[in-house]
Amino acid sequence: MVEHSQTKVSPITPDDLAFINEVIKPKNKKGLLYFSLFFLVFSVSAPLIPGRNVHVTSFRSEDYLSGLIFYAAISVVIIAFLYYKSVYCLSRDLKDGNKLSLNLTVLRKAKNRYAQNELVLRRPKSPSFDKILIAKEYLGDWNEGDIVCVEVLVRSGTVLSYEKL
């Protein structure tokens, strides 16, 4: 099999900016908000759940406070990482103003654990990017060995577009 892994740097176009502002940024903000709410509820309620072999007879505030601090610290680290990947890296990509165009080979079509169709590509280790999900009606258009041009932002790993060459 011939390896087609060419990388080209090009500027972000106005169409790319429109896509980022209308689709990517709202999706990232919504996901960050949902994860933040989940971890807030998790941090507050997790210390109240007893262990498997523990019989809780009464509520003790010092145990709750230490559990709350522990779960809150873990939640802050996770939310900080999500913020870094979804907001900070995306804004750095926009500030740099460049995107990568990669010509990659399709290894196979697959279904992920959510029953979504995706393309599995032979891709470089860097940059890592989001999976390419395709609609069921377009699944037949893709075959093993096809060459795909994928436009991706470097730091955030956001796929802007993809097309069959």
Give the C-alpha separation, 85 to 35, whole Å: 13
Q: pTM higher than 0.85, yes or no?
A: no
For the chain, what are the domain ranges? 6-12+97-164, 14-95
CA 121 vs CA 110, 111, 162: distances in Å: 11, 13, 12
Q: Which residues pair with 110 in a beta bridge?
A: 118
13 DSSP assignment? P
Listed ranges 17-31, 53-67, 102-116, 137-151; the one with the highest mean pLDDT: 17-31
Q: Is residue 146 scored above 90 in pLDDT? A: no
Give the C-alpha separation, 142 to 123, whole Å: 17
Structure tokens at 9: 């740097």
Structure tokens at 164: 């069959």
Tens digits of residue pLDDT in 36-83: 999 999 888 887 776 666 655 455 667 778 888 888 999 999 999 999
CA 150 vs CA 37, 137, 147, 157: distances in Å: 33, 20, 10, 11
